[in-house]
Amino acid sequence: AVGLLAPSLAKAAADDPLPSWNDSRSKTAILDFVGRVTKEGGSDFVPVEDRIAVFDNDGTLWSEQPAYFQFFFALARVKQLYPEHPEWENQQPFAAAISGDMKTLAESGEKGMATIVMATHAGMTTAEFAQLVVDWATTAKHPRFNRLFIDLVYQPMLDTLALLRQNGFKTYIVSGGGIEFMRPWTEKVYGIPPEQVVGSSIVTKFEMKDGKPVLMRLPKIDFIDDGPGKPVGINQFIGRRPIFAAGNSDGDLEMLQWVTGGQGPRFGMLVHHTDEKREWAYDRQSKVGRLDKALDAAVAAKWTVVDMKWDWAKIYPFGG
Amino acid sequence: AVGLLAPSLAKAAADDPLPSWNDSRSKTAILDFVGRVTKEGGSDFVPVEDRIAVFDNDGTLWSEQPAYFQFFFALARVKQLYPEHPEWENQQPFAAAISGDMKTLAESGEKGMATIVMATHAGMTTAEFAQLVVDWATTAKHPRFNRLFIDLVYQPMLDTLALLRQNGFKTYIVSGGGIEFMRPWTEKVYGIPPEQVVGSSIVTKFEMKDGKPVLMRLPKIDFIDDGPGKPVGINQFIGRRPIFAAGNSDGDLEMLQWVTGGQGPRFGMLVHHTDEKREWAYDRQSKVGRLDKALDAAVAAKWTVVDMKWDWAKIYPFGG
Ligand SMILES: [Ca+2]
Ligand SMILES: [Ca+2]
Q: Per-residue pLDDT averaged across A13-20, rounded?
A: 85
In one letter, which amino acid is A67?
A
| A205 contacts in chain B (CB < 8 Å) | 228, 232
Q: B73 by DSSP, 3-state: which?
A: helix
Say yes or no: B239 contacts chain A, CB-CB below 8 A: yes
Residue B228 resides in a domain:
yes
In chain B, positions 254-313, which contact chain A (CB-CB < 8 Å)?
254, 257-258, 261
CB-CB under 8 Å, A206 with B231:
yes
Cis, bond preceding A66 (omega within 30 deg of 0): yes
Residue B48 resides in a domain:
yes
CB B34 within 8 A of CB B163: yes
> What is the rounded distance in angstroms from the CA atom of residue B95 to the CA atom of residue B86?
10
CB-CB under 8 Å, B126 with A197:
no
Kindly write down the DSSP assignment for every residue of A156-206, as one continuous string: HHHHHHHHHHHTTPEEEEEEEEEHHHHHHHHHHHHS--GGGEEEEEEEEEE
Task: Give whole-number Cα distances, B78 to B82, B124, B183, B185, in Å.
Answer: 6, 15, 21, 21
Residue B112 resides in a domain:
no
> What is the rounded distance in angstroms from the CA atom of residue B267 to the CA atom of residue A289?
45
Residue A291 resides in a domain:
yes
> What is the rounded distance in angstroms from the CA atom of residue B85 to the CA atom of residue A110?
45
Which value, in Å, is the radius of gyration of the alpha carbons in chain A?
Answer: 21
Specify burial of residue A183 (Cβ count, 10 A radius: 0-12, 13-18, 19+).
buried
Residue B278 resides in a domain:
yes
A208 to chain B nearest CA, in Å?
9
Chain B nearest-CA residue for A227 = B206
Say yes or no: B232 contacts chain A, CB-CB below 8 A: yes
Which residue of A236, A241, A255, A257 is the best one to mutate when testing the B interface, meaning the one whose CB has the most B CBs within 10 A?
A236
Nearest to B277 by CA among B94, B114, B144, B118: B144
Host domain of residue A301: 17-65+150-311
- Identify which of A201, A232, A254 has the shortest CB distance to residue B236: A201
| A188 contacts in chain B (CB < 8 Å) | none
Q: What is the pLDDT of residue B92?
A: 92
pLDDT tier, A5 (very low <50, low <70, confident <90, very high otherwise): very low
Ranges of beta strands (E only) in chain A are: 52-55, 170-178, 197-209, 212-223, 244-247, 267-274, 281-282, 304-307
DSSP state of B261: T
Residue A300 resides in a domain:
yes
pLDDT tier, B110 (very low <50, low <70, confident <90, very high otherwise): confident
Residue-wise over B198-213: b if at least 16 C-beta within 10 A, else e? Answer: bbbbbebebeeeeeeb
CB-CB under 8 Å, A239 with B206:
no
Q: Distance, CA A231 to ligand 2 centroid (Å)?
A: 30
End-to-end alpha carbon distance in chain A? 34
Q: Which residues pair with B245 in a beta bridge?
A: B54, B268
- Identify which of B231, B237, B239 has the shortest CB distance to residue A213: B231
> What is the rounded distance in angstroms from the CA atom of residue A116 to the CA atom of residue A282?
26
Nearest to B29 by CA among B307, B218, B222: B307
Reported ipTM: the value is 0.93
In this structure, how many other beta carbons lie within 10 angstroms of the beta carbon of residue B149? Answer: 20
Task: Give whole-number Cα distances, A295 to A248, A300, B211, in Å.
Answer: 9, 10, 18
| B236 contacts in chain A (CB < 8 Å) | 179, 201, 204
For chain A, the average pLDDT equals 94
For chain B, the average pLDDT equals 94
Quick one: what percent of chain A has pLDDT higher than 70?
95
Say yes or no: B238 contacts chain A, CB-CB below 8 A: yes
> What is the rounded distance in angstroms from the CA atom of residue B171 to the CA atom of residue A267?
30
CB A206 within 8 A of CB B258: yes
Residue A290 resides in a domain:
yes
Say yes or no: B191 contacts chain A, CB-CB below 8 A: no
* Of residues A3 and A178, more confidently modeled: A178
Nearest to B256 by CA among A208, A237, A218: A208
Q: Which residues pair with B217 in a beta bridge?
A: B204
Cα A181 to chain centroid, rounded: 11
B5: pLDDT strictly greater than 50:
no
Q: A277 by DSSP, 3-state: which?
A: coil
Looking at the CA of B246, name the nearest ligand.
2
CB-CB under 8 Å, B195 with A215:
no
Q: Distance, CA A68 to ligand 1 centroid (Å)?
A: 9
3-state helix, strand, coil in chain A (%, to 5): 50, 20, 30
Residue range A225-273, pLDDT digits in tens: 999 999 999 999 999 999 999 999 999 999 999 999 999 999 999 999 9
Q: Distance, CA B132 to ligand 2 centroid (Å)?
A: 23
* Number of domain units in chain A: 1
Q: What is the pLDDT of residue A2?
A: 43
Q: Per-residue pLDDT averaged across B252-276, rounded?
A: 97
A11: pLDDT strictly greater than 60:
no
Q: Distance, CA A233 to ligand 1 centroid (Å)?
A: 15
CATH number at residue A188: 3.40.50.1000
Say yes or no: A86 contacts chain B, CB-CB below 8 A: no
Residue B23 resides in a domain:
yes
Chain A nearest-CA residue for B227 = A206
In sequence order, the 6+-apart residues with CB closer than 8 A to the CB of B28 are: none
What angle do helix axes B253-260 and B293-301 make, rounded to 10 degrees? 20
Q: Distance, CA A290 to ligand 1 centroid (Å)?
A: 9
- Identify which of A195, A235, A239 has the shortest CB distance to residue B197: A239
B144: pLDDT strictly greater than 60:
yes
Q: Distance, CA A78 to ligand 1 centroid (Å)?
A: 24
Q: Per-residue pLDDT averaged across A189-202, rounded?
A: 98
Q: How many CB pairs under 8 A join A and B?
A: 81
> What is the rounded distance in angstroms from the CA atom of residue A311 to the CA atom of residue A304?
11
φ, ψ dihedrals at B20, nearest 5°: -90, 5
Q: What is the pLDDT of residue A100?
A: 87
In one letter, which amino acid is B234?
I
> What is the rounded distance in angstroms from the CA atom of residue A258 to the CA atom of residue B110?
35
Q: What is the pLDDT of residue B6?
A: 52
| B251 contacts in chain A (CB < 8 Å) | none
Nearest to A118 by CA among A77, A147, A151: A77
Quick one: what percent of chain A has pLDDT higher than 90?
89
Which residue of B52, B195, B202 is the best one to mutate when testing the A interface, meaning the one whose CB has the most A CBs within 10 A?
B195
B14: pLDDT strictly greater than 80:
no
